[in-house]
A and B are shown apart, each in its own frame.
Chain A
Amino acid sequence: MAERITKAEVVKVARLARLELTGEEIERFSTQLAAILDHVAMLERLDTRDVPPTAQAIRLEAPMREDEARPGLGRDDAAAPAPAWEEGCFAVPRIIAGDEK
């Protein structure tokens, strides 16, 4: 199996996805991700010159709806699953140091 993905790349992707991986996991996922990339490389060998590119496995076009506003959840229902709620807002650990907006 070709070295298609380095451990450093796995660590970077994990950090972008906010995943904390152990050393053993990094090792294991490097191998698994490499296998996936090998599989894609195999698909790349197919001649797709006459196949239109698509992002969908099923042929569909996006359905559209009319622009009509309707009531949403309501604040109580919106607040219900929130871990922290203050002054009608979702409360999160402070994002920035100062008082700027």
Chain B
Amino acid sequence: MSAATDRYEPVIGLEVHAQLLTASKLFCGCSTAFGAPPNSHVCPVCLGLPGALPVLNRRAVEYAIRVGLALGCEVRRSSRFARKNYFYPDLPKGYQISQYELPLNESGAIEIEMEAGPKRIGIVRAHVEEDAGKNVHPTGSPTSLVDFNRSGVPLVEIVGAPDLRSAAEAAEYLKELRAILMAIGVNDGNLEEGSFRCDANVSVRPVGQAEFGTRTELKNINSFKFVRQAIDFEVRRQSSVLEAGEAVRQETRLWNDARGETFPMRSKEEAEDYRYFPDPDLPPVEVDAAFIDRIQNEMPELPSARRRRFVKALGLSTYDAAVLASHPRVADYFEAALAEYGAARAQGAKPVANWVINTLMKTARIDGLEAIFAVPAAHLAQLQKLVDEGTISLTVARKVLDEAAERGVAPAQVVEEKGLCQVSDVAAIEAACRDVIAAHPAEVEAFRGGREKLFGFFVGKVMKATKGQGNPKVVNELLHSLLGA
């Protein structure tokens, strides 16, 4: 950070567009499936053909209310759709159906965990709107191509308050928001496919000044890494502009990953003037209290509550709890494995968490809200129990897991078939120790002469003689007593 940056405080607010995971579009029955051939999921409504009328998707409203409740918003019993008017080829009607006055959800907040402690970030509003189509610009062609498969796909736009004061806070807020939307099952959190998108409003002000500075809007920052880099770059850029006695221009800037900088988007020919007005095709959306109550009652546990429970009830570290709760299926898998421990859950928590975080999560196939793990949760629990009971060592357990995963059989079966049970039979291990000592008189003499590092050599030899199945604790004890003599 340059000295200039130290004299200025960043003020950041994020706008997130998240696709609501419905089967059909917001105002028509066209499929929302990703990856279909261009313009294969279109109809007169989402193509904006004359005479077509929108009919609202009930599940989209339900999901958006779920978002509002999860973000602590006030859910409006009567909200309204408005037309946002502008011309662009990906917008077939010449307007986007969005919400302006009287949005569905307003005035919420979420909490993010920073090193300095928890911080509350306000949510200004979370409203429903339709997505636009997609433009492609083939190289060297005089035309641009438009695919309307996405046109009319339901989105919730979540407008965060300008409460963020660093790129790190912005990234944390974005992660938490994503975890919440995934936990409540309304969004798959896929930044790459564009089902979870983020724009950042960034300004800086001299430290101590109350008023906000002039802001720029950053686009094209669809990864957590880019969010941090783009905001950091923009804060430095604006600070040096002010430091040079110049003024920040209010503009939209695009993040260029290759160059690691933001640059101004070619300014539109006219200032933004969307001439919002209530959509005459869509009467107000009325939702009754019973509908909202039902959604509230069906609300799953939110990531923050789940993390707290993992720490308080299971004794996990805050780091482990955060990793596990970052994806609802990972947390579910962890809990399913732990359920096999019954009353001894707290005892199994740490080792099972270690397996999930260090091994199972790394090999899992995670696709949006779905996750497929190498072995069923019950098999993971069985594996760790074999370790707990001293039947196999942790080293052997890793090999057993690989084989159980590959063959699709229970760990106990692998251990049984391969005769991998750890040898705890003291007589058998003692015989192996005596053999090793007898076979290496020179090393024994050196060890007794003070070269204590050689102890590991003997352990290795004994483990080799017992094919890795000697109980390490028993081996250590026996070698100590035999060599110490």
Bound together, the chains give a CA A16 to CA B147 distance in angstroms of 25
| Contact, CB under 8 Å: B137 / A64 | no
- Across the interface, which residues of A come within 8 angstroms of B143, CB to CB? 84, 86, 91-94
Residue on A nearest B283 in the bound complex, by CB: A60
User: What's the interface size class on A, roughly?
Assistant: 35 or more
| Contact, CB under 8 Å: B141 / A56 | no
- Across the interface, which residues of A come within 8 angstroms of B147, CB to CB? 88-89
Residue on B nearest A73 in the bound complex, by CB: B43
Bound together, the chains give a CA A16 to CA B87 distance in angstroms of 8
Q: Say yes or no for B216: interface residue by CB 8 A criterion.
A: no
Q: Say yes or no for A65: interface residue by CB 8 A criterion.
A: yes
Interface residues of A in 48-101 (CB under 8 A from B): 54-56, 58, 60-70, 72-75, 78-79, 81, 84, 86-96, 98-101
Q: Say yes or no for A7: interface residue by CB 8 A criterion.
A: no
Smallest CB–CB gap between B296 and chain A, Å?
A: 19
| Contact, CB under 8 Å: A88 / B137 | no
Task: Point out which of A67, A81, A89, A94 has the most chain B C-beta atoms below 10 A from its C-beta.
Answer: A67
Smallest CB–CB gap between B254 and chain A, Å?
A: 9
Bound together, the chains give a CA A61 to CA B148 distance in angstroms of 28
Q: Say yes or no for B145: interface residue by CB 8 A criterion.
A: yes
- Across the interface, which residues of B come within 8 angstroms of A70, CB to CB? 24, 29-30
| Contact, CB under 8 Å: A61 / B283 | yes
- Across the interface, which residues of A come within 8 angstroms of B138, CB to CB? 87
> With A67-B23, A69-B23 in contact, is A90–B145 under 8 Å at CB?
yes
- Across the interface, which residues of B come within 8 angstroms of A63, CB to CB? 55-56
Residue on B nearest A65 in the bound complex, by CB: B55
The secondary-structure label for the interface of chain B is loop
> With A91-B144, A93-B144 in contact, is A100–B29 under 8 Å at CB?
no
- Across the interface, which residues of A come within 8 angstroms of B135, CB to CB? 95, 101
| Contact, CB under 8 Å: A65 / B29 | yes
| Contact, CB under 8 Å: A99 / B137 | yes
> With A18-B87, A89-B147 in contact, is A79–B22 under 8 Å at CB?
no
Of B176-184, B270-278, B316-324, B331-339, the one with at least 4 CB within 8 A of chain A: B270-278
| Contact, CB under 8 Å: A78 / B136 | no
| Contact, CB under 8 Å: B144 / A96 | yes
Residue on A nearest B254 in the bound complex, by CB: A100
Smallest CB–CB gap between B7 and chain A, Å?
A: 35
Smallest CB–CB gap between A95 and chain B, Å?
A: 4
Interface residue tally for chain B (C-beta within 8 Å): 56
- Across the interface, which residues of B come within 8 angstroms of A64, CB to CB? 55-58, 61
> With A70-B29, A90-B146 in contact, is A55–B43 under 8 Å at CB?
no
| Contact, CB under 8 Å: A92 / B144 | yes
| Contact, CB under 8 Å: B284 / A16 | no
| Contact, CB under 8 Å: B136 / A101 | yes
- CB < 8 Å A-B pair total: 140
Interface residues of B in 306-320 (CB under 8 A from A): none
Residue on A nearest B59 in the bound complex, by CB: A67
Smallest CB–CB gap between A73 and chain B, Å?
A: 5
Q: Say yes or no for A15: interface residue by CB 8 A criterion.
A: yes
Of B34-42, B356-364, B375-383, the one with at least 4 CB within 8 A of chain A: B34-42
> With A62-B282, A65-B29, A75-B37 in contact, is A94–B61 under 8 Å at CB?
no
- Across the interface, which residues of B come within 8 angstroms of A92, CB to CB? 89, 143-146
Smallest CB–CB gap between A76 and chain B, Å?
A: 10
Q: Say yes or no for B75: interface residue by CB 8 A criterion.
A: no
> With A67-B23, A67-B24 in contact, is A72–B57 under 8 Å at CB?
no
Bound together, the chains give a CA A15 to CA B268 distance in angstroms of 13
Smallest CB–CB gap between B222 and chain A, Å?
A: 12
| Contact, CB under 8 Å: B284 / A55 | yes
Q: Say yes or no for B47: interface residue by CB 8 A criterion.
A: yes
Bound together, the chains give a CA A90 to CA B23 distance in angstroms of 24
| Contact, CB under 8 Å: A67 / B22 | yes
| Contact, CB under 8 Å: A89 / B145 | yes
| Contact, CB under 8 Å: A95 / B40 | no
Q: Say yes or no for B5: interface residue by CB 8 A criterion.
A: no
- Across the interface, which residues of A come within 8 angstroms of B28, CB to CB? 72
- Across the interface, which residues of A come within 8 angstroms of B371, CB to CB? none
Q: Say yes or no for B267: interface residue by CB 8 A criterion.
A: no
> With A69-B32, A93-B144 in contact, is A88–B39 under 8 Å at CB?
yes
- Give chain B's interface residues, CB within 8 Å of chain A: 22-24, 28-33, 37-44, 46-47, 49, 55-61, 80-81, 85, 87-89, 135-139, 141-148, 270, 273, 275, 278, 280, 282-286
Known: A55-B80, A90-B148, A99-B139. 12 other contacts (CB 8 A): A16-B273, A55-B280, A61-B285, A65-B55, A67-B57, A68-B24, A68-B29, A86-B145, A91-B145, A95-B88, A95-B89, A101-B136
Q: List 13 A-B contacts (CB under 8 A).
A: A62-B56, A62-B286, A64-B56, A64-B58, A72-B41, A72-B43, A75-B40, A88-B147, A89-B38, A89-B147, A94-B143, A95-B144, A101-B136
The 9 closest A-B CB pairs, nearest first, are A55-B278, A89-B145, A67-B59, A72-B43, A64-B58, A61-B286, A69-B31, A60-B283, A70-B29
